[in-house]
Amino acid sequence: MCDNKPQGPLPYGPSITLEEARRVMDAAEAEARANGWPMVIAIVDTAGLLVMFHRMDNAQTGSVDIGPAKARTAALYKRPSKAFEDAIANGGIGLRMLSMTHVMPLEGGLPIERNGAIIGGIGVSGMSSAQDAQVARAGLAAL
């Protein structure tokens, strides 16, 4: 028997541990340094609360707010922050996203998963959105 029911969003699991956050942070920061990108990198738990935060030397000060907001968006809504960027860019009904709380509609925020469950989020800010996302993906690869 084949179950063709659409898959729902992943459930929340126990929040990311400090040790896991360190591994994710170290890998993300290494990617940023390898490319010469001064970044802000934030890691949050399932409630969107900061677990770890790094502001690299020469990172733009505006990113201090944007990085954690991207991470919070990914964790609270169980999807990449780019999903909101795309919805708004498409206009029409997608513009309703602008009224949602705790949504940062810029690429660079990704949910962090362990064993098929969301355990937190990572948000990166400082360069282009695509470069921010590249650094976030490098961090996720460490888990």
Cα end-to-end distance, the chain, whole Å: 34
- Dump pLDDT digits (tens) for 73-117: 999 999 999 999 999 898 888 888 777 888 999 999 999 999 999
pTM (global) more than 0.85:
yes
Give the chain's domains with CATH numbers: 18-140 (3.30.450.150)
How many Cβ atoms are within 10 Å of 57's Cβ, its own excluded? 5
Handedness of CA 123, 127, 132, 135 (dihedral sign): negative
